Chain A
């Protein structure tokens, strides 16, 4: 009872934390500390909104139809993918300008600005947190009825996700800037592809998109959905044992196209760069 509720907390906590952690590390690492509070502002609004809406739906007479919940969550996920994709290329351009460009030019690479940064924080955390909030109220109700185990398990799971997120943040600050840009970029692309697949599945469940039962693969026989590694896979890259054809195709296309453009060497103003195959981020080392 403790472990399975903890795994739900861990999974949902990681889902919420990853994008935010990478964004915070990026801002801190490139000296854009002005952006940090905007990220937290977005996260704060997302959490407050989820908690409030969760309370309304749990304790009020109103309910959100299943379809509406899936459409809201699915659409928010797909919008989040758009912002994360923009962020990846923003980071790429930042990596380029950081290598000895004028300070003014560097600051102009911040085109995304405070609102965009706050929005990434908001969407990254908020897109599916209504579900988390309602789950929290369910554990609280069980605790109110005398069974505190689910609530404790959930809290420990969320705490675990926070610890993992913090360790990732610390680790990201340690590695050198060139590696940081390369790996967080690739990591974000994979995470965003997972969010895209997740959003599509929500829309398939709501019957907005077809093909819910047309599976690309079904590993539910070999992968135990209740295990810790399934929770980690789901929380980090949104891997689900049952994946529809639409999800699989969208995932492959997204990763293929975005990674291609992300890894494609770009012209830098630093001389002698063209001959070096490892390309743009290589020149960004501080």
Chain B
């Protein structure tokens, strides 16, 4: 299902993940969230930006366990726990946040 953002059409897979990593931009993230009925706030952006940096460095999207630990280290213990991350991303922090970050689904994500 193609995603339309300000007149530009982006290719996505059957689950709504961006087909091309390089298509990502903040307004694309906003549109991806919008198609799930979600609105992105500061807390979401912190995680999305973290994921993009992680991917750039390691070429993978981290597993939830790794994401949770790393967020805790980067943004503090109050954010490095699954309760907080699931509140932000109720469909699963790794799955949903990766989608808005324009990354492929995390390796080993079921």
Partners in one complex: no
- Taking beta carbons and an 8 Å cutoff, which residues of A are in contact with B? none
- Taking beta carbons and an 8 Å cutoff, which residues of B are in contact with A? none
